[in-house]
Structure 1
Amino acid sequence: MQFDTQKKVEAVWDAQRVSNRSKNNMNDNDDSSDRGDLAPLPSRATRNIPKRSRASSRGAILAHLPSDNHTRVIQYESKLEQRVLWLFLANKDVVDIREQPVPVFYTDHLGRRKSHVFDFWVQLRSGRRLAVAVKPAKHALKRNFARELRHVRRSMRKTFADDVVLITDQDFQRGEAINAQRYCEFSWHRCRQTEIELRELLASVELPARISALCDQLAKGGKGFRAVFLAIYDGLLVADLTRPIGMDTLVTVGGAA
C-alpha cells in the first residue's frame, strides 16, 4: 500500500543520507547537493498502489524533478512502469511527472460509463502535458487497448493534458532503460573535478575511442567511468544508448563538446 511504500522509501532515504554525508566527508570534490539531507516529498498518486504480488514488481523511486525543490517519491506498479519512469527521469525535456493522476471518465464503445487512471502524467519543458498509459504490447493488442484510449481521449479535458500516449515494451530497448537508471543514479553524486579533467582530455584525445581507453587516461577509477557516462547524457560524447553502456562502449564527440 502507499503508506507502507512511503515508510520503506523513507528508510532507504535515511540510510542514503548517512552514506552521502560519509562520502562527502571523504571527498570534497563530490558535488552532492543538500537535497539528500531533506525528507522526500510524498507521492502524488490519487490511489493506493496494491500490495506486491508474485506476478508484478511494485515499488517507488526517489526522484529530483525540475518542478520540485528537492526529492519526491514516485511510485510504479510494474517492472515495465519502472523502466518507463527511468526513461522519463533521464529525459531533460521532462520537468514534472505524476503517477496515478486523477481519473478520466469516458463512455466506451458499448456505451458504458467508465473511468481510466493513467499511469503517468508528464509535463515537458515546452509546457506540453502528456497522459501516459503503459502496457505490455501483447496485453494492449489482446484488449484492443488503443480503441479504449481513443474513447478516453475524446472525453479528456484539455485542462488535464494535451494528448494521450501509449508506451509498450516494444517502444524502447531494455538497454535504454538500464542506461537511464544509471544516469539518474550517477547524477546524484557528480565529481566536478573529474568532469573538468575529462573535458581537458577530450580536447586532445583522438575519437572515437572506447570508454576503457578514456578511463585509463583519466586514472580516476570508478569516478572516471561515471564522468564519461554522464558526459554522454550531457552531450559531450555520443554512444549507442540502446545497449547497456560499459567499458567496451565506443564513444565519439558530441554536439555539446
Structure 2
Amino acid sequence: MHHDTPYQPPLRSRATRSFAARSKSSVRGFLFAHLRAQDRPRQIIYESNLERRVLLTFLARRDLVDIWDQPTAIPFATSGGTLRHHTPDFLAFLDTGLRLAIAVKPQASVERLRFREELAQVRGAMSPAYADELLLVTDADLNDADVRNAELLHIARHTVDVDAIRTICTFLADLKGARTFAEVLEQSGLAERGWAALICAINAGEATIDPGRRIASQTLVYPRGVK
C-alpha cells in the first residue's frame, strides 16, 4: 500500500540537559510518544527506571496533552541562603490547562535526603507562570498493574491498525455484559490482531476493566460506564 504522506522522523527531545549514556546505578534511555500537542512522535528521555515507569503512567492518561522531559531548571534559595537550581523530571500539560511539574525520587531517597524539605523550598520559589503544582512521585505511589498496563498501551499505540480499532469499537458498543479479553478477541473476529486495538479502546473509554487489574487473556472487559 502506498501512503500519500511522506515519512517524517520523530521530533527530538526538548530536554534542557542530557544524561550520561552509561551508568552503574540507574537505567537511562528514551522512548517515542505521539502526544496531542505534536503532529508526530517525539523522543522523551528518562534518567532511571522509576522515571520510565512514571512517564508511562502519565502517557496513559486521557487528559494528557503534552509532557516535557527535563524542563527548564527552577532557581531557589536553600534555608542557608545558597542559590541552587532544581530541574523537574517532567512538566505535564493537561487538557484542563493545568501544568504539573513532576519530581521523581525513590521513597528511600526521599527520606534519606530529606527531599520533601528541598521541594518545599522549590515550590515556594516556583513562578506561577512555570507550573500550577509541583508534585513528588515515588515508587510507593505506583501500582505495578497500572504501570504494566501503561506499558502495554504504549506498545499497542505503536502497532494498532485503524481497521482493527473500528471493528473492536463496534463490538464494544454492543457489549451487554462482561467478557474476558480472550472472548472479546474471539467474538469480534480479530483474534490476536485485536490485542492492541482492545487495549487502546479501553484506554479511550470504549470499555472498562477492574481498577488495578493487570491486563491478561482472562481479564474481564465491561461495557462502557459499568465500572
TM, length-normalised to structure 2: 0.90
Structure with the higher fraction of residues in helix conformation? 1
Shift of 1:105: 1.1
Paired position in structure 1 for 2:202: 232
Letter in 1 for 2:200: L
Paired position in structure 2 for 1:75: 45
Higher deviation after alignment, 189-198 or 42-51:
189-198
Are 1:175 and 1:241, in contact at CA under 8 Å, matched by a contact in 2? Answer: no
SS of aligned partner of 2:65: strand
Task: Identify unmatched segments of 5+ residues in structure 1.
Answer: 1-24
Question: Pairwise mapping of residues 59-98 of structure 1 onto structure 2 (< 5 A)?
Answer: 59-98=29-68
Q: Does 1:197 align with 2:167?
A: yes
Task: Identify unmatched segments of 5+ residues in structure 2.
Answer: none
Shift >6 Å, 4+ stretches: none
Are 2:12 and 2:42, in contact at CA under 8 Å, matched by a contact in 1? Answer: yes
Distance 2:114 2:25 in 1: 22
Higher deviation after alignment, 224-233 or 92-101:
224-233
Letter in 1 for 2:166: I
CA distance 1:144–1:176, change in 2 (3 Å): same
- Among 60, 73, 77, the alignment partner of 1:107 is 77
Paired position in structure 1 for 2:10: 40
Q: Does 1:218 align with 2:218?
A: no
Q: How many residues align?
A: 226
Shift of 1:142: 1.6
SS of aligned partner of 1:66: coil
CA distance 1:199–1:127, change in 2 (3 Å): closer
SS of aligned partner of 1:40: coil
Give RMSD over aligned pairs. 2.2
Q: Does 1:139 align with 2:96?
A: no
SS of aligned partner of 2:50: helix
- Among 239, 242, 246, the alignment partner of 2:212 is 242
Are 2:178 and 2:222, in contact at CA under 8 Å, matched by a contact in 1? Answer: yes
SS of aligned partner of 2:23: coil
SS of aligned partner of 2:21: coil
% identity of equivalent residues: 34
Are 1:173 and 1:243, in contact at CA under 8 Å, matched by a contact in 2? Answer: no
Shift of 1:178: 1.7
Are 1:210 and 1:249, in contact at CA under 8 Å, matched by a contact in 2? Answer: yes
Paired position in structure 2 for 1:177: 147
